[in-house]
A and B are shown apart, each in its own frame.
Chain A
Amino acid sequence: MSTQTYTFPRGIHPPEGKSFAENNAIEILPTPKKLFLAVQQHIGAPCAPVVKLKDEVGPDAVVASADAFVSAPIHAPYAGTVGRPAKKTLPNGRRVATVALDVDLDHAPSGADMLNIVYGGDWEIPADFDVNSIFPAVKSGGLVGMGGAAFPTHVKIAKNEKKPIDTILINGCECEPYLTADYRLMVEYPQPIVVGAILTAAAVGAKTVYICIEDNKPAAIQVVSKAIEKTSNPFGVDVSVRVMKTKYPQGGEKQLIRAALGRKVPFPGLPMDVGALVENVSTAAAVAGRVLRGKALTHRIVSVTGGGVVNPKNLFVPIGTPISELIEFCGGLKSDANRILMGGPMMGFAVGTMDIPVTKGTSGITILTNSEVKKSVETNCVRCGRCVGVCPMNLIPTKLALASRFQNTDVLQAYHVAACIECGSCAFTCPASLPLVQLIRTGKIQVQKLSKK
Chain B
Amino acid sequence: MSNTQLDLYVTSSPHLSNSKLSTRWIMLDVIIGLVPVIGMSFYVFRWYAVWQIGLCLISCLSAEAVFESMRGRRPHLEDCSAIVTALILALSLPWSAPWYVSVVGSIVAIGLGKTVFGGLGCNIFNPAMVGRAFAMLGFSSQMAAGAYLLPADATIGGLDKGLAEILTQATPMTLLKSGNTDYFTQLISQTALIGQQNGSLGEASIIALLIGGIYLLVRKTVTWDVPVSALISTFVFAALFNMGPHAFQFGMAHVINGAIFLAAFFIASDPVTNPITTKGRIIFGVGFGFFTVLLRCFSSYPEGVMFSILLMNALVPMINRMTIPKPVGFVKPAK
Contact = CB atoms under 8 A, between A and B. Distances in A.
**Do A and B assemble together?**
yes
Interface string B125-139: 000000000000000
Interface size class of A (residues with CB under 8 A): 35 or more
A406 interface: no
Contact of B8 (A352, A375, A435): A352
Given A372-B16, A382-B121, A396 B276 contact: yes
A350 B15 contact: yes
B329 A266 contact: yes
Main secondary structure of the interface of A (DSSP, over half): loop
B165 interface: no
A258 to B, nearest CB: 7
Contact of B325 (A353, A394, A437): A394
Contact of A381 (B18, B19, B121): B121
Contacts of A354: 1, 3, 6
Interface in B47-106: 76, 79
A339 B271 contact: no
Contact of B15 (A267, A324, A341, A396): A341
Interface in B16-33: 16-19, 21-23, 25-26
Contacts of A337: 6, 8
Contact of A348 (B6, B15, B122): B15
B8 A429 contact: no
B23 A431 contact: yes
B14 interface: yes
A446 B331 CA distance: 23
Given A382-B121, A385-B276, A398-B276, A433 B327 contact: no
Interface stretch (A127-135, A278-286, A292-300, A415-423): A415-423
Contacts of A398: 276
Nearest to B7: A338
Contacts of A12: 18
- Name the residue in B16, B18, B79 with the highest tally of chain A Cβ atoms < 10 Å from its Cβ: B16
B23 A327 contact: no
B317 to A, nearest CB: 11
A415 B320 CA distance: 11
B3 A433 contact: no
B78 to A, nearest CB: 10
B8 to A, nearest CB: 5
- Name the residue in B9, B11, B14 with the highest tally of chain A Cβ atoms < 10 Å from its Cβ: B14
19 contacts: A14-B18, A254-B329, A266-B329, A266-B331, A327-B1, A341-B13, A345-B13, A345-B14, A347-B14, A348-B15, A353-B8, A373-B16, A382-B26, A385-B271, A385-B276, A388-B325, A416-B326, A433-B17, A438-B11
B324 A349 contact: no
Given A254-B329, A385-B223, A394-B328, A380 B16 contact: no
Interface in A312-366: 324, 327-328, 332-333, 337-341, 345-355, 366
Contacts of B272: 382-383
B218 interface: no
Given A379-B79, A431-B22, A396 B13 contact: no
Nearest to A325: B1
B324 to A, nearest CB: 6
Given A333-B6, A353-B3, A419-B327, A431 B26 contact: yes
B23 A399 contact: no
Contacts of A382: 23, 26, 120-121, 271-272
Contacts of B300: none
B185 interface: no
B327 A339 contact: no
Contacts of A419: 327-328, 330
Nearest to A347: B13
B324 A424 contact: no
Contacts of B9: 338-339, 350, 373, 375
A395 interface: yes
Contact of A383 (B79, B276, B327, B329): B276
A365 B323 CA distance: 41
B39 to A, nearest CB: 26
B140 interface: no
Contacts of A254: 328-329
Contact of B331 (A267, A339, A394, A435): A267
A195 interface: no
B277 interface: yes
A365 to B, nearest CB: 13
A230 B333 CA distance: 47
A177 interface: yes
Contacts of A394: 325-328
A96 interface: no
- Name the residue in B6, B13, B122, B324 with the highest tally of chain A Cβ atoms < 10 Å from its Cβ: B13
A189 interface: no
B180 interface: no
Nearest to B225: A385
Given A348-B15, A376-B17, A432 B23 contact: yes
A118 B26 CA distance: 52
A267 B262 CA distance: 42
